[in-house]
């Protein structure tokens, strides 16, 4: 009922404008048009029909009632960021990333209402501050890292949102205060979860006895068998690189990082579909796994993450394995990939005589 009333308010201006148009003087007068244009008699029902349709569409697409949630699970209840930071975060984040959305009047007007509702649903899927307390410490740490990154990059709060919402225009002092609080809480969660601050690292979890090849999934893991192999070369692109530790991890056939519950280290993040190899004198590597799927509800292509740890050097990541023919890969995505020696991480897969997908990727160290 409330939504219908709000919708009626939002569309009332359609009726006001129409009446103003037809009640004007001179050339805008309805009598003038009725007298000089007989077709106007047919246009009046049409215009009235358009107004009715707009009101009906607005009622149909108007924002519904937000789900009930436990106040104790809200970000502010769990984290207690203080008055200043609470106000800043609420004005900049809560309209999209919580159930406490304060819809403006234009959110009830189609087609704007459709776009806003889609945006809010997507934002809540990515992060919902109203459900913050239902996450584990590891998930909270990961979300905080992403929030800090987006704020520093100027992506959040979105510039377009700031234009319509002055409260989301943070001063430098307010921005620094929010970032300092978020960084402090992230460190607390990292310690509580006992995971490394590096989300993509895996070398520290590698077993002692490594081979140049490995099999990742258990025998009963659903999915299409996949074998990827190749060679790792020194920066000159010709000399094989020996004793390079390779770490890979990926989603399952449903786009999820599956976990059994007994994972350790970064396995708490990456799940059990991960493996390690160490290249021999010829620089070769090979891993057998299942073909991963892209994240559900997101545009990311299906991929396999990979990091390299050359002897005596720090672990670093390179472009993930992508698969030619994946409809999620756009031309813009391709242009972002500029690895040396033509290594874009894009591999072509073909099935062998046993029905297994096979691909090849050679890698040049940085």
For residues 199-221, average pLDDT: 94
For residues 325-340, average pLDDT: 77
Q: What is the pLDDT of residue 3?
A: 39
| 44/19: higher pLDDT | 44
Weakest mean pLDDT among 115-124, 248-257, 311-320? 115-124
Q: Is the dihedral of CA 46, 51, 53, 54 positive or negative?
A: positive
| 48/254: higher pLDDT | 254
Mean pLDDT estimate for the chain: 82
For residues 66-89, average pLDDT: 85
Fold exhibited by the domain 203-364:
Protocatechuate 3,4-Dioxygenase, subunit A (2.60.130)
265: cis peptide before it, omega within 30°?
no
Weakest mean pLDDT among 70-74, 77-81, 195-199, 328-332? 195-199
For residue range 240-276, list pLDDT tens digits in order.
Answer: 999 999 999 999 999 999 999 888 888 988 999 999 9
Position 205 confidence tier, pLDDT thresholds 50, 70, 90 = very high
List Cα–Cα distances, 318 to 228, 259, 278, 289, in angstroms: 16, 24, 16, 19
Domain map (residue ranges) of the chain: 2-61, 71-107+114-193, 203-364
For residue range 189-199, list pLDDT tens digits in order.
Answer: 877 766 666 88
Q: Do 304 and 320 meet the contact criterion of CB atoms below 8 Å apart?
A: yes
| 226/72: higher pLDDT | 226
Both tokens of 44, joined, read 């009046």
What pairs with residue 351 in β-bridges? Answer: 357
Weakest mean pLDDT among 17-26, 114-123, 255-264, 349-358? 17-26
Highest mean pLDDT among 62-66, 99-103, 280-284: 280-284
Find, among 334, 66, 307, 350, the residue nearest to 203 by Cα. 307
Position 235 confidence tier, pLDDT thresholds 50, 70, 90 = very high
For residues 277-298, average pLDDT: 94
Q: What is the pLDDT of residue 68?
A: 67
Alpha helices in the chain (DSSP H): 2-22, 30-36, 40-61, 75-79, 83-93, 112-126, 137-152, 159-164, 172-193, 267-270, 331-335
For residue range 345-354, list pLDDT tens digits in order.
Answer: 889 999 999 9
State whether residue 99 is helix, strand or coil.
Answer: coil
Residue 202 has pLDDT above 70, yes or no: yes
Alpha helices in 198-354 (DSSP H): 267-270, 331-335
């Amino acid at each position: 009922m409330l939504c219908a009333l709000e919708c009626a308010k939002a569309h009332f201006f359609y009726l006001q404008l129409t009446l103003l148009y037809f009640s004007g003087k001179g050339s805008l007068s309805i009598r003038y048009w009725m007298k000089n244009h007989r077709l106007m008699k047919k246009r009046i029902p049409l215009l009235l029909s358009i107004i009715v349709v707009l009101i009906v569409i607005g009622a149909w697409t108007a924002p519904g009632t937000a789900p009930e949630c436990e106040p104790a699970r809200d970000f502010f209840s769990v984290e207690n960021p203080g008055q200043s930071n609470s106000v800043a975060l609420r004005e900049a984040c809560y309209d999209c990333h919580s159930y406490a959305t304060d819809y403006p009047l234009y959110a009830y007007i189609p087609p704007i209402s459709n776009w806003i509702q889609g945006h809010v649903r997507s934002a809540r899927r990515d992060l919902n501050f109203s459900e913050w307390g239902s996450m584990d410490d590891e998930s909270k740490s990961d979300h905080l890292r992403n929030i800090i990154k987006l704020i520093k990059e100027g992506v959040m709060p979105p510039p377009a949102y700031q234009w319509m919402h002055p409260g989301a225009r943070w001063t430098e002092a307010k921005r620094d205060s929010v970032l300092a609080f978020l960084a402090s809480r992230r460190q607390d969660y990292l310690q509580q979860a006992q995971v490394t601050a590096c989300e993509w690292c895996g070398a520290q979890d590698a077993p002692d006895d490594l081979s140049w090849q490995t099999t990742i999934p258990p025998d009963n893991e659903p999915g299409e068998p996949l074998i990827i192999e190749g060679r790792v070369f020194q920066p000159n692109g010709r000399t094989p690189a020996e004793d390079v530790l390779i770490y890979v991890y990926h989603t399952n056939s449903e786009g999820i990082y599956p976990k059994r519950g007994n994972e350790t280290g970064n396995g708490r993040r990456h799940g059990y579909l991960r493996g390690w190899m160490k290249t021999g004198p010829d620089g070769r590597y090979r891993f057998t796994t299942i073909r991963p799927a892209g994240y559900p509800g997101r545009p990311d292509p299906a991929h396999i993450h990979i990091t390299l740890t050359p002897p005596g050097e720090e672990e670093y990541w390179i472009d993930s394995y992508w698969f030619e023919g994946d409809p999620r890969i756009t031309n813009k995505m391709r242009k972002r990939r500029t690895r040396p020696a033509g290594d874009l991480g894009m591999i072509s897969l073909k099935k062998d005589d046993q029905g297994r997908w096979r691909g090849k990727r050679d890698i040049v160290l940085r």
